Structure 1
Amino acid sequence: MKKVLFILMIMVLSAASYAEGRVEKIVKNKKIRVGTTGDYKPFTYYNGKEYEGYDIEMAKYIAEDLGVEVEFVPTTWKTLIEDLENDKFDIAMGGITRRTDRKLRVELSRPYLVFGKCPIVRKADEGRYTSLEAIDKPGVKVGVNIGGTNEKYADKNIKSAQIIKYEKNLDVPVAVMKGEVDVMISESPEAIHYANEYKELAAPMVGNPLTKGQLGYLIPKGEYDMLNLINFIMDEMELKGVMDELKAKEIR
Structure 2
Amino acid sequence: MKFWKKALLVVATVTLGLAGGATVTHAASSAVNSELQHKGELTIGLEGTYSPYSYRKDGKLTGFEVDLGKDVAKRMGLKAHFVPTKWDSLIAGLGAGKFDVVMNNITQTPERAKQYHFSTPYIHSHFALIVPKNSHLTNLKQISGKKIIAGTGTNNATVVKKFKGTLVPNSNFASSLDMVRQGRATGTVNSREAWYAYSKQHATKGLKMIDASNEERPAKISALFNKKDPAIQKSYNRALHQLQQDGTVKRLSQKYFGADITK
Q: TM-score normalised to the size of structure 2?
A: 0.77
Structure with greater Cα Rg: 1
Which residue in 1 is equivalent to 2:160?
154
SS at match of 2:75: helix
**1:130 to partner: Cα distance:** 1.9
Q: Which runs of 5+ in 2 are unaligned?
A: 1-28, 259-263
Which residue in 1 is equivalent to 2:203?
198
Cα deviations across residues 86-137 of structure 1 (Å, max 9, x unaligned)? 1111110021111111111111001112223221123343xx322123332x
Q: Tell me which of 118, 133, 140 is aligned to 1:108.
A: 118
**Bigger mean CA offset, 57-66 vs 228-237:** 57-66
Cα deviations across residues 196-230 of structure 1 (Å, max 9, x unaligned)? 44332322215535333210000111322111111
Which residue in 2 is equivalent to 1:8?
none
Where has structure 1 moved over 6 Å in runs of 4 or more? Answer: none
Percentage identity across paired residues of the two chains: 21
Kindly indicate which of the two structures has a greater share of residues assigned to helix: 1
Which residue in 2 is equivalent to 1:216?
222
> Residue 73 and residue 29 in structure 1: after superposition, are their counterparts in 2 closer, same or farther (change >3 A)?
same
Q: Which runs of 5+ in 1 are unaligned?
A: 1-18
Cα deviations across residues 14-36 of structure 1 (Å, max 9, x unaligned)? xxxxx954445659832211000
Q: TM-score normalised to the size of structure 1?
A: 0.80
Which residue in 1 is equivalent to 2:72?
62
Root-mean-square deviation (CA, aligned residues, Å) is 2.5
**Distance of 1:192 and 1:209 partners within structure 2:** 19
**Distance of 1:162 and 1:28 partners within structure 2:** 42
1:1-252 alignment, distance < 5 Å: 21-24=31-34, 26=36, 29-47=39-57, 49-125=59-135, 128-136=136-144, 140-158=146-164, 161-166=165-170, 168-196=172-200, 197-200=202-205, 201-205=207-211, 208-252=214-258
- Equivalent residues of 1:195, 1:203 under 8 A apart: no
- Equivalent residues of 1:116, 1:209 under 8 A apart: no
Aligned residues: 228
**Distance of 2:163 and 2:191 partners within structure 1:** 15
**1:171 to partner: Cα distance:** 2.3
